[in-house]
Amino acid sequence: MAESNRLYAGLFGYTVSDITIKNVGVNIHPNGITSTLINNTHGSSFAGGLISNSSSATIANCYVTGDITAITTNDLNFSYVYAGGLVGNSENVTIENCYTMCNIVAIATSGWAYAGGLVSKSIQTSIVNSYATGDVIAGSTVSYAGGLIGNSSIVDIKSCYRLNNQTIIGDITNEIGMPLTHEEMQNRDLFVGWNFQTIWNSNSNINRGYPYLTIRDFVHPIITISVQPENKNVTQGKIEGNLTIEAYITSNQTLDYQWYQCLNTIPDLSIDDLVGTGDSFAIPLELTAGTYDYYCVVSGAADTKNVISNIATVTVNAPLVITPVSVTLSAFITQFNGNKNDLTITVTEHFSDGSINVITKTFAINNNATGTYQVNNYNIYVDTKGNTQIRACYIAE
């Protein structure tokens, strides 16, 4: 959302009046969200995973994961930039039972930059039972950065935490929030006063083992294919290349990939052949001229709906046959004791580009042998005399 000199990026751009947002989870696309205001005049850029700029709001039981960036560029005029994991800029806001796992960046070429793991700038704000992880970077003429809050004024913080090894960069850093190690973040007993019966939960296989909101237990992870496999053209006998796919899931699950050859016009897992696994499938080298259809099934845990990719068609072209402009022959006999000798025939193909292809083959013969010999695709007639002489050598019709 944009105004003349303001830009808002978030699930909700700008909220005013007394609103309440509850039980919302935001899993940001791997590319992240970015609010970039270019060549503005005293402008502002706001970015927040849930709300980019909020006034008079209550936020409860919400979480955000992903990367968030806010940028303004103007060397001549001061500007403001705000980037927060949950809220970019907040005033008179209450935040309860929320967490963010976000990398935050706020950059202004000239002016003020605010970056915070949960909130970038906070005035008259109450934050209870919440935490933030991820790196926080702010850069400008004056910059504020904090693992939980970048810059705060008249705030009430109760039982809030941040990861102790966050990278926090800014001219002025804010230490609000109890720092915990990775191992301590996995110990629910350290989160004083938190409700682990109905609001919070923890599981070593979910959220890096950190506390997560129980609303996630009722939301099935969603798989999204971000890069579909593409059609390929190859040549028989010189096949190379892979079919590839990129996908992500709105959870910390590991994705599985299974490639199938489509035997009909649409995918049918009951009859189609499983031909490979992984996010990259090597095109089989033994394919002959024709077309072959493949697709990939992306899956997660049992509670996740599988996603089938688009069909990618591999077209195998017949090898290009180049006919030589002329062919020359030569032959010689290697003499052995008695009546046994070797006949060596050489066929030299000459092509229009000046290149040649030499084919040589040796046959066991007797003295005075006469006959037709197969050398690659050529039938060569050779007439010998005694055990050393060749009287005739030519391509037979």
Residue 122 is assigned to a structural domain of this protein:
yes
pLDDT at 158: 95
Provide mean pLDDT across the span 195-221: 85
Judgement on whether residues 212 and 232 belong to the same structural domain of the protein: no
pLDDT at 153: 86
Dihedral angle of Cα 50, 28, 84, 192, to the nearest 10 degrees? 80
Give the end of a domain, one of 292, 317, 342. 317
d(CA 12, CA 375) in angstroms, rounded, equals 76
Residue 60 is assigned to a structural domain of this protein:
yes
Judgement on whether residues 145 and 43 belong to the same structural domain of the protein: yes
What's the pLDDT band for 149 if we cut at 50, 70, 90? very high
Dihedral angle of Cα 160, 165, 23, 126, to the nearest 10 degrees? 30
Q: Are strands 307-308 and 290-299 parallel, antiparallel or unpaired?
A: antiparallel
Give the DSSP letter string of 58-71: EEEEEEEEEEEEEE
pLDDT at 41: 56
Residue 123 is assigned to a structural domain of this protein:
yes
Provide mean pLDDT across the span 35-49: 74
Q: Are strands 119-128 and 149-158 parallel, antiparallel or unpaired?
A: parallel
Could you tell me how many residues make up the chain? Answer: 397
**Any idea what the CATH number is for the domain that residue 243 is in?**
2.60.40.10
Of the candidates 173, 170, 153, 172, the one whose C-alpha atom is nearest the C-alpha of residue 162 is 173
What percentage of the chain exceeds 70 in pLDDT? 94
pLDDT 10s digits, 227-273:
999 999 999 989 999 999 999 887 667 899 999 999 998 999 999 99
> DSSP character for 3?
-
Using an 8 Å Cβ cutoff, are 55 and 91 in contact? yes
Judgement on whether residues 291 and 308 belong to the same structural domain of the protein: yes
Of the candidates 197, 196, 165, 159, the one whose C-alpha atom is nearest the C-alpha of residue 180 is 165
Q: Tell me the CA end-to-end span of the chain in Å, nearest whole number.
A: 80
Query: What token pair was written down for 231?
Result: 């059609």
Judgement on whether residues 40 and 144 belong to the same structural domain of the protein: yes
Query: What token pair was written down for 121?
Result: 């700038």
What range defines the domain where residue 309 resides? 223-317
Average predicted confidence (pLDDT) for the chain? 90
User: Quick check: 3 pLDDT over 50?
Assistant: no
Q: What type of residue is 334? A: T
Residue 109 is assigned to a structural domain of this protein:
yes
Chain centroid, CA 46 distance in Å: 27
Whether pTM > 0.95 for this model: the answer is no
Judgement on whether residues 134 and 238 belong to the same structural domain of the protein: no
Long-range contacts of 362-371 (CB under 8 A, 24+ apart): 364/340, 365/333, 365/340, 365/341, 366/339, 366/340, 366/341, 367/339, 367/341, 369/341, 369/343
| Total number of domains in the chain | 3
Judgement on whether residues 85 and 157 belong to the same structural domain of the protein: yes
Judgement on whether residues 391 and 308 belong to the same structural domain of the protein: no
Query: What token pair was written down for 78?
Result: 């001061």
User: Quick check: 105 pLDDT over 90?
Assistant: yes
Residue 1 is assigned to a structural domain of this protein:
no
Judgement on whether residues 213 and 285 belong to the same structural domain of the protein: no
pLDDT 10s digits, 61-73:
999 999 999 888 7
What percentage of the chain exceeds 90 in pLDDT? 64
Judgement on whether residues 236 and 345 belong to the same structural domain of the protein: no
Judgement on whether residues 168 and 143 belong to the same structural domain of the protein: yes
Judgement on whether residues 179 and 254 belong to the same structural domain of the protein: no
Residue 49 is assigned to a structural domain of this protein:
yes
Residue 182 is assigned to a structural domain of this protein:
yes
Give the end of a domain, one of 200, 218, 236. 218
Judgement on whether residues 338 and 293 belong to the same structural domain of the protein: no
DSSP helix/strand/coil, 314? strand
Give the end of a domain, one of 276, 291, 317. 317
Residue 144 is assigned to a structural domain of this protein:
yes
pLDDT 10s digits, 192-202:
999 999 999 99
Helix (H) or strand (E) holding 392: strand 389-395
User: Quick check: 60 pLDDT over 50?
Assistant: yes
Give the DSSP letter string of 101-140: EEEEEEEESSEEEEEESSEEEEEEEEEES-EEES-EEEES
